[in-house]
Structure 1
């Protein structure tokens, strides 16, 4: 009997071990060990950039916002006419292109003279689209002022306030606008980094891209001009209007600037090998703005490479770890955003990056964000997004490890999952949890059923063995009785 009890106990231990294995949370975690991470951190090194003569310079990747090179990028400087990038951006965001812009006396008489202009007249009327081409190609100051008044509803100061509000919204910290066209003003300054942030936002707009990429445009006759007005792009890296010596094959547009106080300023956009780069140089000597911009573009295109995250990320595999619960429900209805990219030095490997999970930008469709870094620099992010598929399983436990008991129904849609995750994040701020799927429950149930079957077989065999022994004992007793009777009969016969 003791042997049977030992066997049953052993069966239950096996079942318990099976439950422990299959019940462990499946999570996704980086597949590199600590020693590998340390080696990668030691090897990670950002390329050394070239020397440029500009007072301030920066080059930023438009897709990720990663700064590939910078020099004195946070010093506020006079921006000159690159200011008009912000003016054009606000006009595109707040108005329709076919709206009619009216030229006031202030727009005409205070913004022409010795400044860049296209000689508009008092009470002249043009469409907003025509004005924006004049602003970005010919740097027309009177058009910039007229657009500012139009967007501000006739209130010029309101437009200036809009410029500063937009700068703050984009994360600019060393910028203050005091006019819409960049004419010299002690209270009108922008840093190279802030100008890159503004330009990055502008290049996202398809109409802005079209305007800055236009080499030549013609304004048709207006109520004040009987002849068309030709416009030529003054940016020498995309237009040969002032010569071909500075043309750059990968340039897709930009904006020039110059005043005696600011020197030469230049914002340029270029595309190559899947990269869209933004270069800002400020405080340059004549011609130096183009030489520096070319040098910086060549350096970045030669030394950096874009990676699609969904096509390259292989480190998040199922493990027995529960440290990272962003991916608890991954297989069912979530994936990495297919368009997410990061940018790295050409000598680096995608797996050289380090990642963290952020829940700061979660929504019904975004479950979390992978934040990638290399050599201490953030090089891009990738959202983990829902696919819209219905889910047939749902975690029993919250990230804190508690078990839900109030709601017995299984919620299968992605929005419920996002809500569960956000609630857990606010309550505990932890990234660990317990999650058991239906498949795991079936495995556990199968293990328990097998254990029960084994116990029944043992019980059946034990009972049969006992019956066998009882029958044998009865046969032995009858045999002994018969044998004794025979002995007694023999003795009586004597």
Structure 2
């Protein structure tokens, strides 16, 4: 297969329909121009909800600190005023961290901070103790009760392959999610007021931390947002990093350039060498940069069909002196396509609801749909409507009515029934006449 035909075929898988509120997303196994290290990937164009790349998207994986996206989003929904809600850290929340190295933001036992401070501690420094403190507070003293709320929210938004056992993301055999579910969680989280501010901030100073004599500053782990970092990527915002030996490096982010926005999930990038030493290179960041560069240079939203375009005609009945009706599109159809694909590559096919439209017809009445086909694949539909009005002729209507009645089953049944009655009547009359003549002949012979 030539490269041109291959490009057209792959483009057919990318097309996203914006018309009539129908929004299918097509996932493509596209040949990337680079080699990714991530074991699972899910990438979506948020302008059209088109999936442009996926890899092992439904494979269950340990999410590490990506978990905190759900913790933060749910906390923002449950806490009406985070900036003025003061929370004191109970001592027991550190018990599960004894003897292990964790990411934290130096909150002390019994220290009081605002809910907003705790959320920024999670968002920027991926602080595990902050996640436990928030879960304890909003779970009314029970971290497990808050985690159950996290699981309920996951089911509610369609993340059915997700299960949490803690609010921070440390490894657990029954603590898992998928790249696709993380996409759903990220979309939900981004819709929660205040969440975008959390995850797009690079430096934050706690408003209140009563056990620190110096300001308590938080610095983001997302170096792709830090301008003096080697990983800085212009237009990238949020969302969350995560790293564990069982998870590898994980990263969820969004990026916007030239009016296009993508959301990308990469999971399972290399994080440790064979001696379990953490690698200095962040391969999740490198993969992320390559995916965004590829997407921004490859795809464009193109209009395949304009609204109000005359696309043909269909047969017309019951209209005197005219036997056809012009039809037009009832909306625009736009699609996310590789830049090199021409709109002229799209083939259209008109499909009508009836063999012939029956008058009266008003301009704008729906009569069918226009099928859009690219490289043999149907990529969407646009409603077809009458481009003109057509009046009904009463004589033609009456003639058609008679024709319909005569063609109906009951009319045929009635005709056959009447014919049978007539035949039966004739038979009876013939038989009666024969009997009468026979009777008359018998009487005549008796008289003789």
TM-score (norm 2): 0.63
TM superposition shift of 1:271: 0.7
Map of 1:44 onto structure 2 = 12
CA contact (8 A) 1:373 1:379 kept: yes
Q: Secondary structure at the match of 2:164?
A: coil
Counterpart in 2 of 1:390?
A: none
In the other structure, the counterpart of 2:51 is: 67
> Which has the greater radius of gyration?
1
2 CA distance for matches of 1:100 and 1:380?
52
Pairing 1:103–2:86 present: no
Match status 1:284 vs 2:269: yes
Alpha-carbon shift at residue 102 of structure 1 (Å):
3.0
Q: Deviations over 1:433-481 (max 9, x none)?
A: 9x9x9x766x879x99xxxxxxxxxxxxxxxxxxxxxxxxxxxxxxxxx
Query: Contact conserved, 1:221 with 1:227, CA < 8 A, in 2?
Result: no
Equivalent position SS for 1:248: coil
Distance 1:291 1:373, change over 3 A: farther
CA distance in 2 between partners of 1:246 and 1:275 (Å): 21
Match of 1:53 in 2: 37
Give 1:350 deviation, angstroms. 6.1
Residues 353-364 of structure 1 correspond to what in structure 2 (within 5 A)? Answer: none
Structure 1's consecutive aligned runs of 4 or more residues displaced over 4 angstroms after TM superposition are: 40-43, 311-322, 353-356, 370-382
> Does the CA-based 8 Å contact 2:11-2:337 persist in structure 1?
no
Matched, 1:347 2:340: yes
| Aligned partners of 1:64 and 1:341 also within 8 Å | no
Q: How many residues get paired?
A: 333
The structural deviation recorded for 1:108 is: 3.7
Instruction: Return the offset for 1:258.
Output: 0.9
- How far did 1:116 drift? 0.9
- Higher strand proportion: 2
Structure 1 residues 312 and 110: CA distance shift in structure 2, 3 A: farther
* 1:403 aligned partner: none
1:197 to 177, 184, 189: 184
CA distance, structure 2, for counterparts of residue 373 and residue 163 of structure 1: 42
Task: Give unmatched runs, 5+ long, in structure 1.
Answer: 1-39, 323-330, 357-369, 383-430, 449-494
Q: Deviations over 1:402-446 (max 9, x none)?
A: xxxxxxxxxxxxxxxxxxxxxxxxxxxxx999x9x9x766x879x
**1:260 equivalent in alignment to 2:255:** no
**Distance across 2 between alignment mates of 1:381 and 1:226:** 65
Q: Is the 8 A contact 1:184 1:261 kept in 2?
A: yes
Match of 1:120 in 2: 107
Any residues of structure 2 matched to 1:3-152 within 5 Å, and which?
Answer: 44=12, 47-49=30-32, 50-96=34-80, 97-98=82-83, 99-111=85-97, 114-152=101-139
Quickly say closer, same or farther: Cα 1:304–1:157, change in 2 above 3 A.
same
SS of the residue corresponding to residue 110 of structure 1 reads: helix
> Which structure 2 segments of 5+ residues have no match?
1-7, 14-27, 272-281, 317-327, 351-369, 398-448
Q: Name the CA shift for 1:212/1:43 in 2 (closer, same or farther; >3 Å).
A: closer
Matches within 5 A, 1:63-462: 63-96=47-80, 97-98=82-83, 99-111=85-97, 114-239=101-226, 244-286=229-271, 287-306=282-301, 312-313=306-307, 320=314, 342-348=335-341, 352=346
Mapped to 2, the partners of 1:90 and 1:354 lie a distance apart of 46
| Structural RMSD (CA) | 4.3
